[in-house]
Amino acid sequence: MKEMLIAEDVAAHRRPDRDVLPLFLNRWSPRSFTEESVDPAALEACFEAARWAPSSSNEQPWRFLYARTEEDRRLFASCLVEFNQLWAGKAPVLVAVCARTRFAESGEPNRHSAFDTGAAWVLLALEATRRGLYAHAMAGFDEARAREILRIPADHDILCFVALGHAGRPEALPERMRKSETPRGRRPAAEFVTEGAFPKG
C-alpha cells in the first residue's frame, strides 16, 4: 500500500515534533460533511478496525449503533444538542458509541470499559481517515433521550456520538462554525509526559 503523506491542508496547521504516522495527523474532526453516502464496505472496515482494539481481559465492551437511512439518521440526530444537530444532521452516517459497564461473565463492574471503547473509537476514526473519510466525535447529546430512543440497556454507558462521512467545504457550514473548520494543533508532549512520578508542586 502507498505510504500516506501529511495532507497539504493538514500540514499548514499540524507539525509533529517527531516522526509519526501521517495518518495520526490527517485524522481531524471537520463539521462540514457532504451528502455523499459512505460505501457500506468502508463502513464495515471502520468497525472491523475498532474490533481489533485492545481491552481489559479482552472483554471488548464496546457497542456501536449506527444510522444511515434517512429515518435512522433523523432519530439519532434528534439525540444531539442543537449545536451538533446543525452540522452533524448532514453527515451520511451517525454512530452511537456505547460501552458495557459490567463483565459479561461475572457481572462485576468493568472499570476500564470507557478506556477500551475509547481505543476502539480511535481505531475506527483512523481506518476512516485511511479511506478518505472523516469521523467527528460528539459528547454533546441528550443522554436520557438517547437511552430511551435507541433502547440502550442500563448496563451500557452511552459515551459519544460520531458523525462519519466525506468532508465538505467550510462555506457549507453556518457562518459561526466556519472559522474553526481547520485541523487543530496540540500542546507539546513535554506538557503531559513526565519521567517518573507526577511533578511536585
| Residue whose CB is less far from ligand FMN, 123 or 138 | 138
For residues 151 and 120, the answer to whether their CB atoms sit within 8 Å is: no
Contact between 160 and ligand FMN (CB under 6 A)?
A: yes
CA atoms within 13 A on the CB side of 107: 1
For residues 159 and 117, the answer to whether their CB atoms sit within 8 Å is yes
Do the beta carbons of residue 16 and residue 25 sit within 8 Å?
yes
Residue 176 makes contact with ligand FMN by CB under 6 A? no
Q: Is 184 in the site for ligand FMN (CB under 6 A)?
A: yes
Q: Supply the minimum distance, in Å, between the C-beta of residue 4 and ligand FMN.
A: 16
Q: Nearest CA to 64 among 90, 96, 16?
A: 96
Count of residues that bind ligand FMN according to CB under 6 A: 11
49 binds ligand FMN (CB under 6 A): no
126 is a site residue for ligand FMN (CB under 6 A): no
Enumerate residues 76-95 that contact ligand FMN by CB under 6 A. Answer: 84
Residue closest to ligand FMN, measured at CB: 140
168 makes contact with ligand FMN (CB under 6 A) = no
Helix 40-51, helix 113-130: angle, nearest 10: 140
